[in-house]
Amino acid sequence: MGLYLGLDSSTQSLSAMIIDTASGRIVLDHSLNFGKALPRYRSPSGFLPHEDPRVKHADPLMWVEALDQLLGALRASGTDFSQVEGISGAGQQHGSVYLKERLSDVPSWDSARDLVSQVAPLLSRATSPIWMDSSTTAQCGEIAEAVGGDAKVVALSGSRAIERFTGPQIRAFYQRDPQGYAATREIHLVSSFLASILCGRSAPIDQGDGAGMNLLELSTGEWSGALVAATAPSLAERLPGVVPSRTVVGEIAPYFVSKYGFKPGTPVVAFSGDNPSSLVGMGATEPGTAVISMGTSDTVFAAMRKPHTDPRGFGHVFGNPAGGFMCLICFANGSLAREKVAERTGLSWEAFERAILHETQPGNQGNLLLPFFIPEMTPKLLAPKVELFGSEQFVAWQEPASLARAIVEAQALSMQRHSDWIGEHPKVIRVTGGASKNRGIRQVLADVFGAEIRSLSVGNSSALGAALRAAEAVGKVPFSSLYETFAATDEASSVSPRADAAAAYGALRSKLAERLAALGV
């Protein structure tokens, strides 16, 4: 029993959470927003501006400086890290960091200096492609062709070759900057990079996040020789090892002991991707409970008994940190699309909620919105596509309440359509993320999925998941008992499906399917 620290390096912020397994309390929950705290990285939303809208990179030094700054601020405000018994973390998935030297070969961090000045000279690529990048369509095609087609890539890795996944991004780097690639000794995910910084030596990649690279073979949990060879020459020697998520990968580096007061030898458990970690934080590592996370992107994910794959080619299979697998479907038009509709209709979030709950009906009298305000990954649309079908007033954007319902129904119907391949009809869906606080949105999800919708009181499920993973791996506390304490649902916020609502969605569901078919997706 003791204190466990979970870190989460997401697109826009770094968060730290400390849980106390003895008292069952969260004793620290703190975030640092990259854009606000570190303006010199010119990344107000966590990534750098670029003339090509498909290119989305971030400066990895921003993530490193954020770690120093966050730990420094917490220590200054009285956090006693010497009580922490174990650490784990989560990182935005797919993003990669390129180093001239293996971190195990460099001298340990000098605590008289900051981390950034010691990490900067090690980078062989100044910026890191992140999950929002969609500039590698050509490389996806080349990788698939080299291994024998899309179906083969899916069978090996659990996903088609996907633009934002790490393999196609590595291939693009090798092609666009062969010298930079030649100078690279080690390639990390955001998760394994931060674990390595904490340990002061190369940390392996965990099977949860590793499965989001188009390089890991699901059936063995090891790098796939065929995919690695199809991606870039001599890639195998540049990849760290792969380990099960509950592996202790090292001890905290002396730098963090002398600077921030950690106990020497504090174990560090493999970091994972933010979604696999959130599966733990949401208490959903057993099949039967699905999760919908509504943030910058929306994701639907669930633990899986067997790794079966999406015949439409949009969904993914990752490792479940508790063992086995999880599926995930990612929708790029999450909060941004909801915000666009709120802006365009002039509705406040309160009015938006009222509109759904009290001023409109399930099925929206047949009014349908195609809600792709930015290029979409599920279904794959390379260009934005916003279209309104329905009554005259509606298509003229003159029915604010109907438009509020329309965006939420379109997103829920698309989530349901694109998660039907999972094969298990979830009776309970746990929701997280800013938009899930809206009761109107929860009611539409309940009605469309015909499932009970439950929220957790904890906001940051990835950081919580990381802390729980540290407690399970180091403190040997079983997930089941950790879930009872830390991942309990807030009963007052539960929403049930309404019997009459289900019938109202038949027509709208077919109309959406027709419109998507007309777009070829």
By CB under 6 A, which span of 113-121, 192-200, 268-276, 484-492 interacts with ligand XUL?
268-276
- The reply on whether position 275 binds ligand XUL by CB under 6 A is yes
3-state secondary structure of 14: strand
- Best CA proximity match to 271, nearest among 199, 329, 169, 214: 199
Q: Three-state SS string across 100-117, please?
A: CCCHHHCCCCCCCCCHHH
Q: Phi and psi dihedrals of 277, rounded to 5?
A: -70, -35
3-state secondary structure of 312: coil
- The reply on whether position 131 binds ligand XUL by CB under 6 A is yes
Taking the least distance from each CB to ligand XUL, the nearer of 131 and 449 is 131
- The reply on whether position 274 binds ligand XUL by CB under 6 A is yes
Task: Give the x-and-dash track for 45-84 against ligand XUL (CB under 6 A).
Answer: ----------------------------------------
Looking at residue 512, its amino acid is L
Taking the least distance from each CB to ligand XUL, the nearer of 212 and 287 is 212
Tokens of 323: 């063992």
- The reply on whether position 128 binds ligand XUL by CB under 6 A is no
Task: Give the x-and-dash track for 152-191 against ligand XUL (CB under 6 A).
Answer: ------------x---------------------------
Helix axes 499-518, 439-449, angle to 10 degrees: 80
- The reply on whether position 214 binds ligand XUL by CB under 6 A is no
**Residue numbers 277-306 binding ligand XUL by CB under 6 A:** 297, 299
Q: Find all residues with CB under 8 Å of 297, minimum gap 6, and list them.
A: 330, 331, 332, 334
Q: Three-state SS string across 458-498, please?
A: CCCHHHHHHHHHHHHHHHCCCHHHHHHHHCCECHHHCECCC
By CB under 6 A, which span of 194-202, 273-281, 382-390, 440-448 interacts with ligand XUL?
273-281
Strands (E), 338-417: 368-372, 385-389
Give the total of residues touching ligand XUL (CB under 6 A).
15
CB of 378 to ligand XUL, least distance (A): 10
CB of 155 to ligand XUL, least distance (A): 19
CB of 358 to ligand XUL, least distance (A): 32
Taking the least distance from each CB to ligand XUL, the nearer of 147 and 291 is 291
- The reply on whether position 11 binds ligand XUL by CB under 6 A is yes
Distance between CA 114 and CA 355 in Å, rounded? Answer: 51
> Is 108 within 8 Å of 25 (Cβ atoms)?
no
CA 304 to mean position of chain CA atoms: 17
By CB under 6 A, which span of 69-77, 86-94, 303-311, 412-420 interacts with ligand XUL?
86-94
Taking the least distance from each CB to ligand XUL, the nearer of 31 and 275 is 275
- The reply on whether position 92 binds ligand XUL by CB under 6 A is yes
Tokens of 31: 């975030």
Residues within the interface to ligand XUL (CB under 6 A): 10-11, 92-94, 131, 164, 212, 273-275, 297, 299, 328, 330
